[in-house]
Amino acid sequence: MSWDARLECSHGHVASDQNYTHNVNRMIRATGVFPGWWDELDGMTGEQAGLKLRKCCVMLATGDYDHLEPDNGWGSRKTLALVLMEMAQASQEHPDHRWKVSG
């Protein structure tokens, strides 16, 4: 199963639309940046989420999280970091938009 995260303005403009597997959620939680990852991101503005997403990316890139990679091979630390970095960039570019999550 996968999650979807969309960064939208109040008029429905979508600045970012990301999709990734839930198999990696434990890596995100393990960084300590987003303890409530999914529930926490939902409704955050780009401004609120941007720095947290960027910090999570840095921690995934520099920390030892490989042992948390899914056994089934669906998702990885490296590709997760790329998705989160795209989300962080969109957040920075659209600080007033809000994240909506599903999945």
- What is the extent of the structural domain holding 51? 2-102
pLDDT (tens digit per residue) in 30-40: 999 999 998 99
3-state secondary structure of 13: coil
Domain count, the chain: 1
Any bridge partners for residue 6, and if so which? 17, 100
For 48-102, the pLDDT digits (tens) are 999 999 999 999 999 999 999 999 999 999 999 999 999 999 999 999 999 999 9
- CB-based burial label for 38 (10 Å; 0-12, 13-18, 19+): middle
Report pTM. 0.94
